[in-house]
Amino acid sequence: MGFLHFLAKIISAAFVVLTISQLARAETYPARPISLVVGFSAGGPSDTIARILAERMRQSIGQPIIVENVTGASGSMAVGRVVHAAPDGYTVNLGFLGTHVINAAVYKLPYDPLNDLEPVSLVATNPILIVSRKNLPANNLNELVVWLKAHPSQATHGAGGVGTPAHVAGELFQQMTGTKFQFVPYRGAAPAMQDLVAGQIDLMFDQFANALPQVRAGTIKVYAVTAKERSALAADLPTVDEAGLPGLYVDVWHALWVPKGTPREIISKLNSAVVDALSDPRVRQRFGEIGQEIPSRDRQTPESLGAYQRAEIEKWWPIVRAANIKVD
């Protein structure tokens, strides 16, 4: 009995020491610059979002936040780097729908994007526009579906790569409408849009930042926004519900994660810095200029991001697998 009592005291003391150590680490955090790892090259949407966010978070966090571009495997190399980093808050990942949901259904990954990371905050959302070449003979979404059904497997849908959100959005559209068209992969969304403007392909399911300028210029047709509510960035464009295809929701969102096991106090500090940044009028303006919307305050919590990521996995994995989208 005496030995068990002694052992219990030792375990209790060890727990207290560990707790004090964790609290002390959290109180002094951050003591050096933080790396914000992005899976895509400089100048792209993810990189631009990361740099705007890092610049403003620095004011709240008190240390430089350095954007680190780790490219390869559609962003999976960057996520893997963060998964295997020390859980001390000094390595943070900015990812999106593709890297933290779709990739796991397309690639054989050496990590679990849901269980090997801790969510910090949703950062930005970006619904997709359903667009076509200017001279396609359909003037609304219902007419587009009718035209596609009259030309089975003849229409072409361009997107910036296999397994991208734009690609799987096209697959969801086909499943929901009973249409069939050909997928044409490009090295990026920009060259795909160039061919759409030139009339070389028929359709795209593209992000606001790439498609909206062409819509405003009148060089392509637009049918709907893939969201439940109209976008503040283009309030004149109808939602898919209004256009006749309810439930076709596709949101190319971005968010922050840290390695599994990162102390809650550190996650809280990072989250507070994100919340501060997203409330800044200048950040909101700059996000709007690149087609990004700020999520509501209740969606900026770690718990909300975790639940949203799980819901997106439950939605998209069956769609990707049904379409047999694979990348070796």
pLDDT digits (tens, 9 = 90+) for 169-205: 999 999 999 999 999 998 888 899 999 999 999 999 9
- 3 state SS of 86: coil
Residue among 22, 274, 327 at smallest CA distance from 124:
274
Residue written as token pair 């030995």? 3
Is 20 a residue whose pLDDT tops 50? Answer: no
Q: How many domains does the chain have?
A: 3
Distance separating alpha carbons of residues 238 and 241, to the nearest angstrom: 8
Give which of 195, 236, 235 is closest to 219, Cα–Cα. Answer: 195
CA 46, 195, 216, 240 dihedral sign is: negative
Residues 46 and 188 in one domain: no
Does 238 lie in the same domain as 132? yes
pLDDT category, 83, cuts 50, 70, 90? very high
What value, to the nearest 5°, has the Cα angle with vertex 324 and ends 127 and 249?
Answer: 20
DSSP state of 126: -
* 60 and 17 in a common domain: no
pLDDT confidence tier of residue 291, bands split at 50, 70 and 90: confident
183: domain CATH number is 3.40.190.10
CA atoms within 13 A on the CB side of 26: 16
Distance CA 192, CA 256 (A): 28
Do 168 and 264 have their domain in common? no
Q: Please say if the pLDDT value at position 17 is more than 50.
A: no
User: Can you give the pLDDT at residue 3?
Assistant: 47
Q: Which of 95, 82, 97 has the alpha carbon at shortest distance from 35?
A: 82
Residue 248 maps to a domain: no
pTM (2 d.p.): 0.86
Query: What pLDDT band is residue 15 in, cutting at 50, 70 and 90?
Result: low
| Strand runs labelled E in the chain | 34-38, 65-69, 91-96, 117-124, 128-133, 156-159, 182-185, 203-207, 220-225, 254-259
Structure-token pair, residue 57: 């978070």
Print the domain residue range for 308: 32-126+254-322
For CA atoms 85, 87, 90, 92, the dihedral sign is positive
**Mean per-residue pLDDT for 82-96?**
98
CA–CA separation, 216 vs 239, rounded Å?
17
pLDDT (0 to 100) of residue 9: 59
Q: In sequence order, what are the residues at sequence separation of 6 or more whose Cβ sits closer than 8 angstroms to the Cβ of residue 29?
A: 88, 89, 265, 266, 269
| Residues above pLDDT 90, as percent of the chain | 79
- Is the pLDDT confidence value at 38 over 60? yes
Same domain, 206 and 267: no
Please state, in angstroms and as integers, the Cα–Cα distance from residue 171 to each residue in 127, 244, 293, following that order: 16, 18, 24
Q: Which of 205, 222, 243 is the last residue of a domain?
A: 243
Report the distance separating Cα 237 and Cα 204, nearest Å.
16
Of residues 73 and 142, more confidently modeled: 142
Same domain (yes/no): 258, 307: yes
**Of 243, 267, 293, which one is at a domain's C-terminal end?**
243
Model pLDDT, residue 192: 92
225 and 121 Cβ atoms separated by less than 8 Å: no
What is the average pLDDT across 65-88? Answer: 95
